[in-house]
Amino acid sequence: MTVEIAARHSRSEITGYPNYHQVSDLGVVQFRHSYDDDLLGHILKRALEIKEMHADKRQLNLNYIRDAASHIPEINDLLHSPRRMEVAEKLSGTRLEPYPISIISSIITFTSARPEDGAITWHADGVPVTELIPLSIIDPQGGELELYRGSADEGLYRAHSGEEIPQDRIISIQHREGFSVLGQLMRLMHRVRPMTRGYRITLNLNFRSAEKPFIDDNTMCYLAADNPDFEWQNAYIEDVKARQLPAYLRSISAASP
C-alpha cells in the first residue's frame, strides 16, 4: 500500500522528548486520501443543510455538529471503512478503532472569520487520534493547523497567560482538499490559526488505540463542556467498565515485575 505523504512529524519530534501517554509515536501526518468525491460532496451538502439546526459553539471558539453520523448516516461508510482503518493504522504504527462515544466519534467543524464560526483556540484534544478530512476549502487566509513544539502543559500555561506563542515554536500545516490530516493531538497543544478570509468545512473522524483504549483525555468534564445534556454518560461509563478498565488492568499486570 503506497500513500502519498505531504507532511509528517513524529510525536517525539514535536514535543522534543519521548512520550509515555500515547498510542504510538504518531504526531501528525498529512496524506492524500482516496475517499469517494460523491460521498464527500453529499456529506458537505447535508452538513450545510443541517448546520443552522445542529451546529453549536460552546467552548474553545469551535462551531461544530456533534454526532455527525447520526444526522448524516453516509458518514458511517467512512467511519467503518476497512481501507481507511488500514491506512490510519499503517500511518500511526498501531492498531486503532473508531472512537466509541458517538457525540465525538464523528463531528463536522465550521471554520471561518464569521462570528458564528471561528477557529479553535489553543488546546489539546480529549480524543487520542483524529482524522481531519476537508470537505470544502474556499479562498482561505489563515485556517492552518498549528502545533506547539514542546510540552502541551507548558504551552497551555504560556497561551493562557496571554503570551504570544513565537513562530519558531509552531509547526504549521495548511489543509488541502484531497488530503487528510491524521494526528495524535491528545497532549499536543494546537489550534487553528484564525481565519481572516474564506471558509473551511471539515469532517473529523476520531480513533483510539484498540489495545489501550484507556489512553484517552476525554474527561467527563471536558465532554460535558461541549455536551451539557449528559445523554452520553451511560455509554461513557459502560465503555470504562467493559473496555477501558479491563485493558488497563491487563496492561499494569503485564508491566509488573
Q: How far apart are CB 256 and Fe ion at their closest, in Å? A: 34
- Which region among 1-9, 121-129, 150-158, 170-178 touches Fe ion (by CB under 5 A)? 121-129
Q: What DSSP character marks residue 119?
A: -
- Which region among 38-46, 56-64, 118-126, 193-201 touches Fe ion (by CB under 5 A)? 118-126
Q: Which residue is nearest to Fe ion (CB)?
A: 125
Nearer to Fe ion, 125 or 146 (CB): 125
- Which region among 48-56, 155-163, 178-186, 195-203 touches Fe ion (by CB under 5 A)? 178-186
The cell for 38 is 460523491
- Which region among 16-24, 120-128, 146-154, 220-228 touches Fe ion (by CB under 5 A)? 120-128
Q: Which of 11, 23, 66, 125 binds Fe ion (CB under 5 A)?
A: 125
The cell for 12 is 517525539
Q: What is the 3-state secondary structure (H, E, C) of 186-210?
A: CCCCEEECCCCEEEEEEEEEEEEEC
The cell for 198 is 474564506
Per the DSSP assignment, residues forming a β-bridge with 148 are 170
d(CA 180, CA 147): 16
- In the block, cell 439546526 appears at 53
Q: How far apart are CB 234 and Fe ion at their closest, in Å? A: 26
Distances from the Cα of 26 to the Cα of 158, 238, 250, 256, angstroms: 24, 28, 23, 26
Residue 198 burial (CB count, 10 A):
15
- Which region among 13-21, 45-53, 148-156, 184-192 touches Fe ion (by CB under 5 A)? 184-192
Examine residue 131 and tell whether it contacts Fe ion (CB under 5 A): no
- Number of amino acids touching Fe ion (CB under 5 A): 2
Are 208 and 136 in contact by the 8 Å Cβ rule? The answer is no
Q: How far apart are CB 249 and Fe ion at their closest, in Å? A: 30
The cell for 69 is 453520523
Q: Which amino acid makes up residue 10?
A: S
Q: How far apart are CB 124 and Fe ion at their closest, in Å? A: 7
Q: How far apart are CB 130 and Fe ion at their closest, in Å? A: 7
Residues of this chain that interact with Fe ion (CB under 5 A) are 125, 185
